[in-house]
Structure 1
Amino acid sequence: MKAGGDMKTARKTVCVFVLLTITKAMITAGNYRLSATVGNSSVFTCPQKSNITMVTWKISPKVGGPCTLGYRADQNKTDRTNCSDSMNWKFRPDRDPTLEIRQVKIAHEGNYTCEVVAPEGNFHETHHLTVLVPPKPTLSCDDQGNPVCQAAAGKPAAQISWVRESNSTPNEEGHDDGTVTVLSKFTAHSTKVTNATCIVSHPAGNWSASIACPPRKLLFVHSAFKIMNYT
């Protein structure tokens, strides 16, 4: 009975060892969230290991098909599939497998997963990229003499506020590319207000401006009538 118990214990020990070995072989280094402003560059790091055997970048953008970048140490060879020219290794992949995107576009938004094969195991690291688009702010006066603030084509939608209190409710208009235009009209609580300051808040940067709108002018249209005689 004791021998049988020892064999069961040995089997359990072997199973635990195998599970630990599998766990060591498949190590998830981490999941990260980062953002980049459209037009700028973005860098994605990968687990730094010595004696790398293979590196694979798997990119899954929200728009368009997936692409891959790969490196094999035994062949000292890199390859790419369906990746744009703006997406490439920042350095030599055998020394540093960092990925870089030059001139980030909205279409680059998505998931970037790096898989590294090394003697001590396989390592995965995933980056979730969000692309920011700064809105184009403008401040003007409408025909009624009200200040109008607009933050056009921003991603995500910008927040508009006024320094003086206002009854304004911002209106949003979405676009096909995922950007949003926000418009806010200043409506003062008091007729004594002569100027207003608009503040546009956005993750890519803030903006503010002031304006003084003249009071509404009444326009008189004089019509001249021509009397025609018919005979």
Structure 2
Amino acid sequence: MARHDARNWHDCTKMIGLLCLVASILLRHGVSGQRVKVEPEVSSYPGQTVNLRCAFTDSTGIQLTMVTWIYEPKDGERINVAVFHPNFDPSYPDSPVKGRVSFTPSPPNLNSPSIQIRNVTMTDEGKYICEYATYPSGNEQGITYLVMLAKPQNSASTVTVEAGTNPVVVARCQSADGRPASQITWMTNANGNATTTSKAGSGNTVTVTSEYRMVPTAEDNGKDISCVVAHRTQVKPENFPMKLEVQYAPQVAIVGYDNNWYIGRTNAVLTCQASGNPIPVSVQWKTMSGDMPDTVQVTGNELKVLKVDDAVNTTFVCEVTNKIGTNRDQVTATVRVTPLPPEGPSAGTIVGAIIGVLIFLAIIGTIIALYKKFSNKKLNFRDRPPKHKPPPPNKTDSSAARQVNIDHVSGGSETLLENQYFTTQSAEPVTDLDAFDEYSDEKKDHYYSAAPSGWDDPETNDMLPPYMHTGNHQGPDEHLVDMDPLSPQDHQGANVQRGDSFMSPPVFV
């Protein structure tokens, strides 16, 4: 077990050491590669002058010996195009850019040995490497990609086709002599698909062609289709809107026959409607019986029966022709003795009318309900009883003074009381609070007891009148005995109407 563990530890140590070595190599190359500063990509058009910049950012502790610019085409070997050594003049070996390449500024220096290429062509595109020979680090380099741009010539067109059953090309779009290759897309609601091909052009350019294929039908004629071309040299994609051009034979339909041709009817008209691509050039009316009736007048695509008779009891045929072919339609006329009765309103019309009336009534009912609700609210607000009880009104005597004649008093001397008057108390008037009765607009009848005293009346809250002294008795032996006005024993002798208050007559003893 110990031997096995030792072997595993040894293998682990070797693996760690290998990883450390690889990391140090990568770190060294990464740091050294960052010290040569170049532009990752430079783009240009043919005929222009391009500048390829290069600089060594930190030469501390490093001796810069020489710099070399190397050209590496897309498909080819590396070629030296410019060499500079501080002890010698700049050198420009044979290359595709010789005579057009030079160091800038001139004379150059090792810290920034940039170059420029004049009158660039499409074949100058490729990888340009700025490589330093240093001591003691060795060679260090930076890479710039020169991208040559060529603005393409874009075009699009539809292809005139005939309706059929096989897929054919209905539109074509092309972006010629561009660099890099263009991107072509289609926009349409037609049911088809596109195929795109690329072809190398002159001067390292590319021509892209896209074709839209579909099975054309008569319904596809006139549909919108657009070709959209996107390229690096364009500010925005270029759009080519078009319409499909599908040719088809005429489509024919006869309209105007109402199945109500009766003897004596005048000016019955049939119209031959036709559509086609190209536009139909010939419209011809015929009858299945052979000869056209004398009462029939034909003008272009219109057939008019001046007066219906038995001769027009036949089948009328309309034939339409264009470049693609000929199509026809026919209608058989039946002559009636008497006209058909006029048709009443259709079920749909009746249902619609009923629904309209119901909606109208619902609107009217809603308006009336809202109006009543508003009126009730207004009345309730105006007729609402006050929140405080108003002061009681002044009391008035409703009954006249009553004259009481006493002819005889038992148990003592007889005394005639003449013209003795007593004022009775009437029921008090109803206050405003009592007038508001939500159940009835009329004043309700109040219940009175058998011996009303003024306290039983729910409409009055006033106190009884004070005890009244007559002041008409004579003699010292006569004593006036006041009776309790609330006592019911002596109410029989008084002539008191129901609902009025009263006072008991005095008794002399």
Q: Percent identity?
A: 21
Deviation at 1:200, TM superposition (A): 0.7
Alignment deviations for residues 12-63 of structure 1 (CA, whole Å, 9 cap, x no partner): xxxxxxx99xx69x93236864252441443322124579653211112235
Structure with higher Rg: it is 2
Partners of 2:195 and 2:223 lie apart in 1 by 21
Q: Distance in 1 between matches of 2:149 and 2:193?
A: 26
Which one of 231, 240, 254 corresponds to residue 202 of structure 1?
231
Match of 1:112 in 2: 128
One of 177, 181, 184 as aligned partner of 1:157: 181
> Contact conserved, 2:180 with 2:205, CA < 8 A, in 1?
yes
Higher share of residues assigned strand:
1
What is residue 67 of structure 1 aligned with on the other side?
Answer: 80
- Could you say which residue in structure 1 is the equivalent of 2:159? 142
1:37 touches 1:134 (CA, 8 Å); kept in 2? no
Q: 1:170 to 1:153 in 2, by over 3 A?
A: farther
When the two chains are superposed, the root-mean-square deviation of aligned CA atoms in Å is: 4.0
Structure with the bigger RCO (C-alpha within 8 Å, sep 6+) is 1
Identify the structure with the greater helix proportion: 2
CA–CA distance in 1 between the matches of 2:68 and 2:136? 17
**How far apart in 1 are the matches of 2:176 and 2:201?**
13
Deviation at 1:69, TM superposition (A): 0.3
Q: Which amino acid aligns with 1:43?
A: N
Deviations, residues 72-126 of structure 1 (Å, cap 9, x unaligned) = 2223x11100132333334332273222233433322322111235689654112
* Aligned counterparts of 1:38 and 1:156: Cα–Cα separation in 2: 11
Distance across 2 between alignment mates of 1:181 and 1:138: 12
Unaligned runs of 5+ in 1: 1-18, 222-231
Residue of structure 2 equivalent to 1:6: none
Matched with 1:185 is 211
Aligned residues: 200
TM-score normalised over the length of structure 2: 0.33
Deviates more, 1:143-152 or 1:80-89: 143-152
The answer to whether residue 183 in structure 2 is matched with residue 175 in structure 1 is no
Worse-matched range after superposition: 207-216 or 159-168: 207-216
1:11 is aligned to none
Task: Specify whether residues 192 and 174 from structure 1 end up closer, same or farther in structure 2 by C-alpha distance, changes over 3 A only.
Answer: closer
List runs of 5+ in structure 2 lacking aligned partners. 1-23, 163-169, 248-276, 279-321, 325-509
Check whether the contact 2:193–2:213 (CA below 8 A) recurs between aligned residues.
yes
* Residues 195 and 212, structure 2, Cα contact 8 Å, conserved in 1: no
Residue of 101, 109, 113 corresponding to 2:117:
101
* Secondary structure of the structure 1 residue equivalent to 2:232: coil
- Normalising by structure 1, what TM-score? 0.65
What is the one-letter code of the residue matched to 2:225?
A
Query: Which ranges of 4 or more aligned residues in structure 1 deviate by more than 6 Å?
Result: none
